[in-house]
A and B are shown apart, each in its own frame.
Chain A
Amino acid sequence: MKLTLHIWRQRSSKEKGSFETYAVTANEHMSFLEMLDVLNQELIEAKKEPVAFEHDCREGICGACSMVINGRPHGPVKGTTTCQVHMRHYKDGDHIWIEPFRAQSFPVIRDLVVDRSSFDRIIQSGGFISVNTGQAVDANSIPIEKDQAGEAMDAASCIGCGACVAACPNGSAMLFTAAKVSHLALMPQGAIENERRVQAMVEQMDKEGFGKCSNTYACEAECPKEISVLHIARLNRSYFKSMLTSK
């Protein structure tokens, strides 16, 4: 299939970017990233600058790939990262617009690569449990109810890719922060520090300049791991409760 790609090119966060148009021939068995690999090989052979984009596992579990395809983070397939989108979802003659995740707190490093270290700083502010190091504890030493463990696991499936921020019309990081707070709060090991954690992580999230959630639920619809906005509600009530009851 012959495709026309309109790709966002930007040399650095300081320079202005713009769309550039490329023609590429792909087949339906390629993944979206392999199609970009083909384009980059052609650009390299033509002594042109290849398109910078992030990728790592290409198995849909690492959260590295980050691009907006025709206005949708991670492309048109529900519950899927970019690397798992295949070219069979496109047809000959299609125009595809590819741009980086857009948010003030995700500055563009180059082309489709954005700096998501703001997420790391949110985790550093409280997304952990404080334990003494030593021998690993036996997995079954603390019994946890199946439903509880399942809900925590649903939240923990967040790969921190940032699609929620890119999808949100407000550039809010609430779904990410809520998922991280939830998966720890639902476990007895993490519940102990929940009060302190929820305040610290919300404070850091605000400090990073993310927007404020207005419950549009675009995040849930576009999340490649289909994390529910129920976790945002849990974050809201934990935060208000901790503000009222903490020392």
Chain B
Amino acid sequence: MKWITKLLTSSLGQKLIMSLTGIFLILFLIVHLVGNLQLLAHDNGESFNIYAAFMSHNPFIRVISIGLYAFILLHSIQGIALWLTNRKAKGGHSSKGKVAGADWSSRNMALLGVLIFAFLCIHMGDFWVKMRFTDSLPLVNYPGHEGAVEDIFSRVHVAFQNIWIVIIYVVGVIALAFHLVHGFQSAFQTLGLNHKKYTPLIKGIGWLYAILFPLGFAILPLYHYFNL
């Protein structure tokens, strides 16, 4: 088993961890956005609340979500560790001018990551903690659905009436957009997948992804704030 430790502690292995956890988190965004688009439904939260109850009680989803939290932490801790060692490896910075290549987001992945992590803490504290660990949410019954479910929809609606929360969400998804602009294609390069046949496609999809998904997430608080 020594080879596994050697692999995962090598510079390339640490990047492999970033790449694989990053791809998992990218895939998670699809599920998260598709589910949460139900916040746009004008049904007093019925579809969203039933969906939320399913997501928090289904054993399979519960196992996957534990993996998700672990991967978020692993991605964050490994990312910070890389940032610290890279800063040390660089030594000093050139005092004048800047190099070609290296776009802004590629040089600021750690900063963007910290912003996203801070956003996640606020985001999960607001909804996830209240749903999982407290009984503060009122229960509602829907005809055709067995048993009462927690009314997280109203909690979300109330939260999104606060302009500051809406601003935090918009800033959070903008940070996510810039993180994805670099992270999406970078994950494939780290895996060794770079070829003139398909890399333009990966970069194209990465750009689309980095624009469409954050935009989709930004619509949710704005939609509720403006009572559309």
Contact = CB atoms under 8 A, between A and B. Distances in A.
Interface stretch (B30-38, B95-103, B130-138, B215-223): B95-103
Interface residues on A, range: 35 or more
Contacts of B106: 214-217
Interface string A163-174: 000011111100
B109 A214 contact: yes
B6 to A, nearest CB: 7
A232 B189 contact: yes
Interface residues on B, range: 35 or more
A170 B109 CA distance: 12
Interface in B60-88: 82, 85-86, 88
B105 to A, nearest CB: 9
Nearest to A209: B89
Interface string A156-198: 0000000000011111100000000000000000000000000
Contact of A215 (B3, B12, B88, B190): B190
A243 interface: yes
A240 interface: yes
A218 interface: yes
B16 interface: yes
B91 interface: yes
A206 B10 contact: yes
Contact of B90 (A104, A215, A221, A222): A104
Interface stretch (A31-39, A66-74, A125-133, A134-142): A66-74
B161 interface: no
Given A19-B95, A104-B89, A215 B186 contact: yes
B141 interface: no
Interface string A195-206: 000000011011
Interface stretch (B49-57, B116-124, B164-172, B191-199): B191-199
A70 B97 contact: yes
Contact of B100 (A19, A203, A218): A218
Contact of B192 (A70, A167, A209, A240): A240
Contacts of B89: 103-105, 170-172, 209-212
A40 interface: no
A169 B182 CA distance: 15
A30 interface: no
A171 B10 CA distance: 16
B41 interface: no
A146 B20 CA distance: 36
A175 to B, nearest CB: 11
A112 interface: no
Interface string A22-47: 00000000000000000000000000
A71 B11 contact: no
A99 B95 contact: yes
A212 B14 contact: yes
Contact of B11 (A102, A168, A206): A206
A81 B96 CA distance: 19
A210 B12 CA distance: 12
A230 B188 CA distance: 12
A104 B89 CA distance: 5
27 contacts: A19-B95, A71-B97, A71-B99, A97-B95, A104-B88, A104-B90, A104-B91, A167-B101, A168-B90, A169-B86, A171-B89, A172-B11, A205-B11, A212-B15, A213-B15, A216-B102, A217-B101, A217-B106, A221-B102, A230-B195, A233-B194, A234-B192, A235-B192, A236-B192, A238-B192, A240-B191, A243-B7
Interface of B: 3, 6-7, 10-16, 82, 85-86, 88-103, 106-107, 109, 182, 185-186, 189-196
